[in-house]
Structure 1
Amino acid sequence: MNKADRVDPRVARTRVLLQTAALELAAERDLDKITIAHVAERATINRATVYQHYRDRDELFLEAMEGELTALTAVVARCPLTTMPDEMPQAMVGVFQHVEANLVLYQRMLGPCGSARFIDRLHRLVAEAAVQQLTETGTRTPDNPEVQMQADCSAGAFIGLLRHWLLGPEVQPAERAAATAWRALVRSDRR
């Protein structure tokens, strides 16, 4: 590691403080009610310092959620995203359980006042997992436009099911929601 690649420990600590403050606030209120000033106050950091690290609030929230996105994508990648087997895999329940463990945070991030950058990043990560599934046999390549389109459709459907579950009038337990989502995916796959 050369000197240019090292992150000053003070910068890393400040970023952790800001990300933690942002996630704490997101658990308490809708994202559109959170300002940079709120985050700075919670992190006990000067507001100008926030802008030294992040262009805007959405960039801060996206970086704060990066670890969560990585964990969710790892669980989603174990789900069949492009071809539905007859039986629901346990990984499907795992996705809903993972989201349920941080229910309020996901409701805020994926909700109507949520973060478009977060939704876009999640879509891209799920689509990448779908591309991998579509090309693992070696008969199709990742740069094939049809593969890309099918992966985007699969990602959109998967995220749409999560949003429907999270934003509906009643949030079902993860196991029941996964079964309901699975039935919807299988029906659309078989048409």
Structure 2
Amino acid sequence: MPEDDPRVRRTRSRLRSAVLELAEVRDPDSITVAEIAQRAEVNRATVYVHYRDRDDLVLDAMETAVGELAADAARCPYREPGPAPAALVALFEHVGARAPLYRRMLGPYGSARFCARLREALVAGLRTPFAAGSRPPGHDDVPPEIHAHHVAGALIGIITYWLGEHPPRPAAEIAATAWNLIGSGR
């Protein structure tokens, strides 16, 4: 079926919503394709018409969220000193609003494919501003590609740590800590 067919878009949207709803309350590895199909009100075979496997569906379902997160990271004014920028606070608010899902996806039994996709999206979002010189002072000698990978890895590490806190500190507070480590907040 063509990708632009309204029925294809509708079915994929229902499947994405179903897997995200299930992943917020259960470990993604324990969710079966049959459960996703039942929640989306389609038959099991329909899932395989649209996706290779459950992980492929989860990655597609998280693509919009990952893109939003990467865009927030790219909007940070890394060259400008000061408090944590609103874009970084928004990044942590985004994760906090979806904490159960991110906790499962980035946790010890999460998805390596999701973690890799998140890292790729962050690097892609950071590459352009870093190449244009939007990096913290004192880092101009670091190649932009390496710096983008460094910040992406740091953000994933901080997000993972934060999601493991009980209770997690407020988004603005963890953003300020992250900014002190990766931005111009010093």
Change in Cα spacing, 1:174 to 1:137, as seen in structure 2 (3 Å) is closer
Root-mean-square deviation over aligned CA pairs: 2.5
Distance in structure 1 (CA, Å) of the matches to 2:130 and 2:69: 20
CA drift of 1:18 comes to 0.8
- Distance in 2 (CA, whole Å) between partners of 1:69 and 1:136 is 23
Paired residue total: 179
Q: How does 1:1-20 map to 2 (within 5 A)?
A: 7-20=4-17
Aligned equivalents of 1:156 and 1:114: distance in 2? Answer: 16
Q: Is the 8 A contact 1:96 1:177 kept in 2?
A: yes
TM-score (ref. length: structure 1): 0.82
Letter in 1 for 2:109: C
Equivalent of 1:102 in 94, 98, 103: 98
Residue of structure 2 in register with 1:122 after alignment: 118
Identity, in percent, stands at: 46
Alignment-derived partner of residue 132 in structure 2 = 136
- Residues 18 and 158 (structure 1), Cα distance of their counterparts in 2 relative to 1, 3 Å cut: same
- Residue 86 (structure 1) shift: 4.2
Give per-residue Cα distances to partners, 1:110-145, cap 9 Å, x unaligned. 22222222211111111122211221149xxxxxx9
- Aligned mates of 2:182, 2:130 — CA distance in 1: 16
2:176 aligned with 1:179, yes or no? yes
Specify the code of the residue in structure 1 equivalent to 2:100: V
Q: Deviations over 1:137-169 (max 9, x none)?
A: 49xxxxxx9432222112101111111101233
Match of 2:107 in 1: 111
8 Å contact kept, 1:79–1:91: yes
